[in-house]
Amino acid sequence: MKKTFISCVLTLILSLGIISGYSQQKTSLPKKVRITSAVLKDKIKGGWAGQTIGCTYGGPTEFQFKGSMIQDYQPIVWYDDYIKETFESDPGLYDDVYLDLAFVDIVERYGLDAPADSFAMTFAHSNYKLWHANQAARYNILHGIMPPASGYWKNNPHADDIDFQIESDFAGMMSPGLINSAAELCDRVGHITNYGDGWYGGVFMAGMYATAFLTDNIDVIIEQGLQPIPKESKFYQTISDVVRWHKQYPDDWKKCWFEVEKKHTSEKGCPEGVFNSFDIDARVNAAYVVIGLLYGHKDFFKTMDIATRCGQDSDCNPATAGGIIGVILGYDKIPSFWKPSVEKVLDMKFPFSTRSLNQICSLSYKHSMEMIKRNGGKVSGDTITLMVQQPKTLRLEQSFEGMYPSKQLLVRKDYLDEPIKIDFTGNGIVVLGNVKSQCGEATSKYIALLDVYMDGTKIEQVNMPFDFTTRKYDIFYKYMMKEGDHKLEIRWINPDPAYRIYFKSYVVYSDHPQAVMGH
């Protein structure tokens, strides 16, 4: 009787995920899986189509709902010409997809073993629009800071941001059943732009894509995708919490969403979101993808719609969720309601790309076949045998350790002749701003030169291009200084009356958490 009772208690504890926040039992997938070439092609096409549909569907709501869900009564538009019109009127919306496509093209040009530098240089010298970790990395590479240093948090204030998470789909779609191969590719490419949780987000998504070729069990897909992520990381803890809350509230995604908001939405890295509701952190937005997958129950629309209605980066999150469910279903089983809009653009050049979606599908299939054969798979007629990899845990990386946000000051002032001066107490600072034009004489070739002095000593000269493509995302940042009083001065040494240095704000960090007023 006692033994039975203890067993029941242990079973209950494990089912609630109380130990380590997640079930201790891991699902074992078969060592071999057979798939036809037609099915593989259909799933790859479903993944690219689902990603494009999801990005377009959530586009109008992107960062319009920050710390707030999109209510059920608010309609989200869709019609048959929607993707084509968005291609033409708002191509920058597809930054998550066109970077994915660019990486596919680099694999085609340089092979499966393309080094990180090949990806980095093509990425840095491209003309497509980038933001956050991507743009910070582009600037780093153009100024001689190559990967993995270009994505490292001391060189990139956006290292934990969503950027690589939304661009890693290609790695999973060319690695069916090959989760470790996908992770290795993510190691090379992901550290161009990100580190720590920002890198893990890409590994996780690629792992779910790789597993979606093998099973339609959403729980297994999430579990497998999470296995390479170290349990000590905040990313692992966030996603395992979502899985646990789903078990607690299986019929109400909004209750799960509220739990995420309460526990996991404090921002530490991206200086734009540290002291407000804007949150582009990888793990938080990954949580919304997982909420969409878990509560969508393999329904294409519900999966995408819930991921969108979680808010924040609400075009990228349904793009990822839509891509994964697209692989699970295959293109043929995506509901017909969505297909006319996709089929109008299948042979168009994708925004900021020389390739169409149909061409990318063909290349992804080609690369997946190369990856399958390299890893012991076999092809016999129309039948492909996949040798399924068991996930290996990656090394632990954590960004912004020893850094605690302590102060923000909004300045919003234009500078021309006078230097920017900031007195602060702490161990780090990020200064936000950009070069802006003052009159019609402005040219995109202009580069402002800023000399940076810390405590009276010149420590750096910063190049601030006016050009949007090559711009420096943040004026200046410095981490892991000695805690104490510091004087920062930024002098513009080549001022031009056609321009201004717009000093938006600054964020200060300390080596210890700040006490709450009144406590």
Tens of pLDDT, residue by residue over 338-374, are 999 999 999 999 999 999 999 999 999 999 999 999 9
Residues 435, 448 contacting (CB under 8 angstroms): yes
CATH of segment(s) 27-387: 1.10.4080.10
438 pLDDT band (50/70/90 cuts)? confident
- Work out the average pLDDT over 457-462: 97
CATH of segment(s) 404-510: 2.60.120.260
Q: Tell me the sheet residues that pair with 487.
A: 423
75 pLDDT band (50/70/90 cuts)? very high
pLDDT in tens, 77-104: 999 999 999 999 999 999 999 999 999 9
Residues 190, 103 contacting (CB under 8 angstroms): no
Query: What is the layout of strands, in order, in the sheet containing 476-478?
Result: 404-415, 499-510, 428-437, 476-478
Of residues 331, 362, 325, 338, the one with CA closest to residue 78: 338
- Inter-CA distances, 143 with 37, 137, 468, Å: 44, 10, 16
Of residues 145, 134, 213, 212, the one with CA closest to residue 167: 134
Residues 492, 479 contacting (CB under 8 angstroms): no
The pLDDT score that the predictor gives to residue 517 is: 54
Answer whether residue 26 shows pLDDT above 70: no
**What is the C-alpha to C-alpha distance for residues 447 and 498, in angstroms, rounded to an integer?**
12
Counting every residue written for the chain, the total comes to: 519
Provide the mean pLDDT of the chain. Answer: 93
Share of the chain above pLDDT 90, in %: 91
Residue type, 485: D
Q: Where are the domains of the chain?
A: 27-387, 404-510
Secondary-structure breakdown of the chain: helix, strand, coil percentages, each rounded to the nearest 5: 45, 15, 40
**What is the C-alpha to C-alpha distance for residues 56 and 60, in angstroms, rounded to an integer?**
8
Burial of 269 by CB count in 10 Å (0-12 exposed, 13-18 middle, 19+ buried)? buried
Phi, psi at 460, each rounded to 5°: -170, 150
**What is the C-alpha to C-alpha distance for residues 477 and 508, in angstroms, rounded to an integer?**
10
Judged by DSSP in three states, 420 sits in strand
pLDDT in tens, 249-281: 999 999 999 999 999 999 999 999 999 999 999
